[in-house]
Amino acid sequence: MLAPKARRPAARIEAIVARNAAVAVIFRRGPSRRVRMLKWNLRNDRIEGGQWIEAGVHVSRCDVSPKGELVACFVASYRRAPGTWTAISRPPWFTALAVWPKHDSWGGGGLFVSDSHFLLEHDERLLRGIDQFRLMPDFTLPRRFRVQSYVGHAPVPECDIEQCRMVLSGWRFVQRAVWGRATSDPAKGLPFARPEIMARALDDPRRPRFELRRLVDGYAPDRAQGQSRIMRAEIHDRATATARDLGRVDWVDADHEGDALWSARGRLFRLAGPTRRGMELDAAPKLLADLNDMTFAAVEAPRRAMRWP
């Protein structure tokens, strides 16, 4: 009797919504350290396939420019020099327009303040003869493009890149995380004694009725990234004091029309928000795409992806 075929693990889907455009950049990971970038048109939910990279991409340290024309990624691949780096490219392509070497995973990545102003989270000191603010050879920046250190210039104090990016997009802190006791078994991860909760209004931010919430309960072991977040999502109706639990998610956000967007087990979902035709918490979400059945392929970036916008 043949043994049952091993079930392929679900892909992990994360995305970043551009602040001033109906565009999101999707990072689809799996298997292992293979990541594919895709571009998502939020107006019609068309998803454009892009490039794969055989490396770790730390999405929490990535960002998309306000108009959605550029993406900054923090990449780790210790099989090739410089080990880790921050790159700027045209989505959905990893082929870089600019690369700064990092060499380690302390910090890295960056935040777009505007379409032509970037904050780089690299060490400003010269360490081991390495200047982490100097571009790698053969890369140049447009004259109009400005780069500063994230440290000391972050627009939201006491926040990491992801938290700062979320606050600029309309999220706010409801509760800061409190670390719990470290477990003796590393396989059990790092739970929080109190979860981190961030919320975003789905309608008028001054007087919101519907609110999207992201709850981070801790970190779980992850073979590709070292750790991944244990995360849940909820939608709250403040007028009726009711809530809908969306369960475990890999990513959650909202579009500019107030629709709730999230991913779970390699699939993307949308729930119509209050500004379209009135929000119904018990409505069935729309399955936008199942991105599990993708296989790695070497894809060359087109010539347009090798030019600054």
Q: Which residue has the higher pLDDT, 303 or 7?
A: 303
In this structure, is residue 4 part of a structural domain?
A: no
Is it the case that residue 1 has pLDDT exceeding 60?
no
Dump pLDDT digits (tens) for 11-60. Answer: 999 999 999 999 999 999 998 789 999 999 999 999 999 999 999 999 99
**Among residues 251, 247, 168, 239, which one has the least CA distance to residue 203?**
239
Dump pLDDT digits (tens) for 212-236. Answer: 999 999 888 765 555 688 999 999 9
Number of domains in the chain: 1
Q: Identify the pLDDT of residue 2.
A: 52
Q: Identify the pLDDT of residue 68.
A: 98
In this structure, is residue 190 part of a structural domain?
A: yes
Domain interval for residue 203: 12-306
In this structure, is residue 138 part of a structural domain?
A: yes
In this structure, is residue 54 part of a structural domain?
A: yes
Q: Identify the pLDDT of residue 179.
A: 83
Is it the case that residue 136 has pLDDT exceeding 60?
yes
CA distance 239 to 245: 17
Length of the chain: 309
Structure tokens of 49? 């396939």
In this structure, is residue 7 part of a structural domain?
A: no
Dump pLDDT digits (tens) for 162-202. Answer: 999 999 999 999 999 888 766 555 556 678 889 999 999 99
Instruction: Give the confidence band of 265 by pLDDT, cuts at 50, 70, 90.
Output: very high
Q: Identify the pLDDT of residue 127.
A: 76
Which residues contact residue 267 at a Cβ distance below 8 angstroms, ignoring those fewer than 6 apart? 13, 287, 288, 289, 290, 291, 292
**Mean pLDDT score across all residues of the chain:** 92
pTM for the full predicted model: 0.93
Q: How many CB atoms lie under 10 A from the CB of residue 20?
A: 12
For residue 74, the number of C-alpha atoms closer than 13 Å in the C-beta half-sphere is 23
In this structure, is residue 5 part of a structural domain?
A: no
Cis peptide before 66 (omega within 30 of 0): no
In this structure, is residue 2 part of a structural domain?
A: no
In this structure, is residue 247 part of a structural domain?
A: yes
